[in-house]
Structure 1
Amino acid sequence: MHKNFKDILGMKGKEKITVLTGYDSTMVTLCDQVDVILVGDSAGMVMLGYENTSSVTMEDMIRFTTAAKNGRKNSLIVSDLPINSYNTKEDAVKNSMKLIEAGAGAVKLEGGKEVAEIIKSITENHIPVMGHLGLLPQTAQKYTVQGKTKDSAMELIEDAKIITKSGVFSIVLEMVSSQVAKIITEKISVPTIGIGSGKFCDGQVLVVHDMLGLFEKIKPKFAKRYLSLADEIRNAVKSYTIEVKEEKFPSIENEFQMDESEYNELRNEID
């Protein structure tokens, strides 16, 4: 039985929560040991080649969510509501339903007090919501650390309290100064999931393509690379190309053979 949002909520203060992005069934199958698979709109950049997440559509997110569901056995799937899909309460509920129908166990949206009523309307329809504070990629003009001044820190803390009251079961904190992330984690009753926000959060999330060293266009400081798969893939492709050109692949073990007597009969008929 796969995890649900209550399982994640219950991990606060007891066990660190592991989150990786997942956009296709093959990768999700390999990563299914984590607590949460986040079908992030970052898929637009790492899978579709967009410059940012602002071009991602609901249709994109439904397709990626379906693919993730097909590879998942254990993890909770949380899917991003893309930009402009939750401008009104009606749109937010309708589009959240679409992601749930596609296989998500919860949805995620960006923003603080300005989306508090939107969050409430979704949760009132029995759909779990993960919040997202700090750097908001859907609307950010530039990627800078959040919560570096007292005033901005107070605003983040207040936003965290407000959306917690609105019903989120967890909050992603992106590029928030570690001191402020620690305060938020201590002040709210739901888990915080950090990305570039330090070790004091209740859990951590990384884009799997960053973690595996597959996506090279952007190399965030906070994204630790556990592998360099891009180099290994290039080397494998180079070896494949050389072997085909030099007629070393396919070899006899990669072929299928006719029965010799059948082959001889065939040759006789042709000749």
Structure 2
Amino acid sequence: MTKPEMTKISGLDMRKTISWYIQNSSDLTASLDQKLQFPIGSDHIGYTIEGREHLHLTDFELFRLMRLFPDSAMQRSVLRSINGKPQLWFKKESTAFDINVTNRFQDAISPTAMVPSFVGYDKVDDQLVADVNIYRMAGIFVTPTVGKLIHAEGLLHEVAHTIIQPALSVEGYKLRLASGEIVDGFDYVMKFAEMVEGLPAISHYAATYRGPDGKFESSDERYNPILAVNEELAESIAAKLLGFTFCEETHRRKNPFVERPEAKQFVDDFLEARLYKEQR
């Protein structure tokens, strides 16, 4: 494994994130709890929930987290289910181009290289659907408070994917922005990529998917720029809804968009956009 890959793969190890959560647990949980008191969206009931015993979130917290998304965004979501799952880790053999998981911590990158969440896709009657898995967090450093913060971020991140993915993969997918402008979904997300490519990744995790020069490109044929943009936008949405993110720039951790107002506006516009279907 080359040195650049070693650096990037550090984004799969939650050691630094967990340490920061522990140090700031009072402030972060207070901020999160306040947001959950005043969600902006409505109850979205088009999904099932299983495996609650693995979740560090109560039903109240889970439903309120979902309501941090505007109704316009959730109406575009292809979410089918949320599933609590047993613990998983990122495997030692993982690279920035080939990420693997294991249920044995002995085979993990480190004991703190835990998989917080994942989204998988399927098609039902030719319609895209998504299942979000949230994995149990355990270990001497994962207090209930830290587990709650990890699962809150993981849930928002994966649900964000269920809103982004149709724009990237569904042919002819169009959005009507709040301004009334009609845009192609794929092209619009690529506009976000151009906007943030010259900036550091929004989070420690998102940096894993940047190319060698911090851009959404690489000479390595295994590199997937669409995946990288998808992860950057999902992390940006989670950061916007939570109000914090773990990143290398310490001054941005509790104010993620302090130096990127255009990216913040894009996230708002993307979430407020509605699916546009041409009249026939």
The verdict on a shared fold, with TM-score over 0.5 as the criterion, is: no
Q: Relative contact order: is structure 1 or structure 2 higher (C-alpha 8 Å, sep ≥ 6)?
A: 2
TM-score by length of structure 1 reads 0.25
TM-score by length of structure 2 reads 0.24
